[in-house]
Chain A
Amino acid sequence: MTQDRRQFLARAGSLLYTVAGASAWLTPAEARTQGADLRVLDPARVRTLEAFGEILVPGATAAGIAHFVDSQLAVDPNDSLLVTRLFNIEPPYGRFYTGVLDALEALSRLGRPASPARLPRDPQRCRRCRLWHGRGLSQTRRALHGAHRAAQPLVMRRWPGTTHRS
């Protein structure tokens, strides 16, 4: 059987998941569609992460953002492929991710009209998304920075050993 380069690369991105009690090498997208076990993130945080990912990049949910992040939170930090490694964020990274997801959820309820987990599929057509993000779609950077800053005290309170920089 021959493969083209893109097919090879797609398989090269496979990670080890557990489906119905059996281990399998799957892409994050396959892991999602096959209902692979999640090891760190609970369903509420998965919904928040998928909604947030979908706002950033259409198709993030179907690509398996939650299963990718979850799988990398579950491994030894030295083997992790998360972008947190590029910053001065102290492992275990689950502290950071769950803290920020909780902060995003909390932030969305503080004077904002919608939870990120309940946002519609096309956020650019949605006024609520604009409000949730801050003062407009073009200022997402500021909104994300604000969310990150808002997350810090929550993360610190919840996980006192955590250090990170904005």
Chain B
Amino acid sequence: MARDHAQVVIVGAGAAGSVFAAVLAEAGRDVRVLESGPPRRLSDLYSSQIWGRRLKWAEPHVAEATRDSVWFNLNAGRGYGGAATHHFAVWPRYHADDFKLHSSFGKGLDWPIEYADLQPWYDRVQEEVGIAGDAEAEVWRPPGAPYPLPPVPRFVQGQVLARGFEAAGLRVAPIPVAVLTRPYKGRPACIWDGWCEAGCPTGALANPLATYLPRATAAGAKLQAGCHVTRVLTDAKGQRAIGVEYVDTAGARHELAADVVVLAAFGVENVRLLLNSATTAHAAGLANSSGMVGRYLTSHPSVMTFGLFDADLQNHMGLSGGQIFSHEHWTKTGRPGAFGSRQYEAAMAIKPNDLLGIAMTRAELFHRDLERFMQRAVRGLGQMTAVCEDQPIAANRIEPDSRRDAHGLPLARIHYTTSPDGMGLWHAAVADSERIMKAAGAMEVWHGPKVAQHIMGGTIMGSDPAASVTDSYGRTHDVGNLFVAGGGLFPTTSAVNSTYTIHALALRAAVHLRDGWAGLTR
């Protein structure tokens, strides 16, 4: 068995892993990034949803134990860039009240940090990456530096749906996106052709292939594709991580020794690795003395609502994530019996086919009826999405399944049921979205099924080692040189897309590790 050494080994080349790699490599650390999927460059991406399917996992990974689903395959990604390669780059911030749900409202959990702790990191990430938006128009926006880029243009669909919000008494703002509205730091401006979800090949959208991975490799970080990490290795006493074990594409097993291990392999895989790294000293799984590894799995219950208009909405143009958004239904206690916040995103670019395409919006239609609908909808279809907060429930969890994958790891068995509050918000969002569509002038209005956007929790951060897996930097309570990164750290979901917060947390943690290296790696 071959064995070599790096100062830092990062498992996963996605949003969080790429930030860690850039910061630590630029500080002169010897960084190795092990990615299970294929190597990928921007030029490997195609503006086609069918080709974009290759950004998803194909290997057996997850066994679902409940009727509800977190839609793992839709949310996750593989290869350099990870899930962020196909994300829509809608980047709003968490609000201050998202961090103190338990102490403020007696609901959910508290984070070990407040918004003020994260604000400078949000500001720094937006300056590094480039976010387009209109801070003044976002009357609900928490404190922060103005956006470095002007907002996205509003095409016909955005103008029409904005009138619907206005008629319903709801304010909107240009949607904040990590997409360039003008050239920025060597990357080109977006051309608004609406293929974000297939993977942006131009570099205008802030996926890791365009942002932190080039920085990491330029600073000397080594990326290794096709390396499926199977275990975190610990010393005899179980007090320190000493590296990882991985299997390459030929099936050969390797060990890579490291001073620090960062798990950034997506929330589900991080849990799977920790549970599969059990030893005598960590019988219930690594970093699991609290029993919290795998617990508090959450997602955003979401709904897409559609309206058919007698107009050419130019609905092929813009961004997959939309042109406008609203936090007017944010107040946590605004709806009796359904605690939490809602976000509306509207005027998404829509393509004819695939799961999020026009044809699938009316799955009951077929043959000539489908053809007639397509001919109308290809110009007249408008779309909006409501993202609802979910409440953390300990019983929503990831545990090892009895079946194993090709590398010998148990599949991740997922138990997930949307919280009652989340369901209440979802039903309210359906009604309000249809009201907005009608107010915009749609002739026909309908909505899709409940979908799960973003996967969070499973390795939650907290102040109490008995009730959480890591501290606010993602450093595990049990193993001092083992860090976890990504959305798995989130104790609560908010009602906003998670990738911006993943970046902010990762940057904060990576700088903390860089500056406190001597003490944190002991």
Contact = CB atoms under 8 A, between A and B. Distances in A.
Contacts of B363: 140-141, 144
B154 interface: no
A77 B53 CA distance: 11
Chain A facing B: main interface SS:
helix
B53 A82 contact: yes
A111 to B, nearest CB: 21
B68 to A, nearest CB: 10
Interface stretch (B59-67, B427-435, B455-463): B59-67
B364 A85 contact: no
Contact of B60 (A55, A57, A80, A90): A90
B73 A86 contact: yes
Interface in A120-141: 122-124, 137-141
B74 interface: yes
A83 B370 CA distance: 19
Interface residues of A, number: 29
A124 B59 contact: no
A91 interface: yes
Nearest to B46: A12
Interface in A41-84: 55-58, 77-83
Contacts of B60: 90-91, 163
A142 B365 CA distance: 11
Interface in B369-392: 369-371
A81 B63 contact: no
A165 interface: yes
Contacts of A123: 367
A3 interface: no
A33 interface: no
A7 interface: no
A58 B367 CA distance: 6
A87 interface: yes
A23 interface: no
A80 B58 contact: yes
B407 interface: no
B59 A91 contact: yes
A2 interface: no
A90 B73 CA distance: 11
Contacts of A58: 367-368, 371
Contact of A83 (B53, B63, B367): B53
Contacts of A140: 363-366
Given A87-B73, A88-B73, A141-B363, A81 B54 contact: yes
User: Could you say which of A55, A86, A91, A137 has the most chain B C-beta atoms within 10 Å of its C-beta?
Assistant: A86
A57 B370 contact: yes
Contacts of A86: 53, 56, 73-74, 355
B246 interface: no
A124 B64 contact: no
User: Could you say which of A55, A58, A142 has the most chain B C-beta atoms within 10 Å of its C-beta?
Assistant: A58
Contacts of B142: none
Contacts of B354: 83
Contact of A56 (B53, B54, B370): B370
A83 B363 CA distance: 15
A88 B62 contact: yes
Nearest to B38: A78
B239 to A, nearest CB: 37
B150 to A, nearest CB: 29
A40 B72 CA distance: 28
B343 to A, nearest CB: 23
Given A140-B363, A142-B364, 12 more contacts: A57-B367, A78-B37, A80-B54, A80-B58, A81-B50, A85-B58, A87-B73, A88-B69, A88-B73, A91-B59, A163-B60, A165-B64
Interface of B: 37-38, 50-51, 53-54, 56-60, 62-64, 69, 72-74, 354-355, 363-371
Interface of A: 55-58, 77-83, 85-88, 90-91, 122-124, 137-142, 144, 163, 165
Q: Which 10 A-B pairs have the closest CB atoms?
A: A141-B364, A77-B58, A85-B53, A85-B56, A90-B60, A78-B58, A56-B366, A124-B367, A141-B363, A140-B364
12 contacts: A57-B366, A57-B367, A78-B58, A81-B50, A82-B53, A83-B53, A85-B58, A86-B56, A88-B69, A91-B58, A91-B60, A122-B367
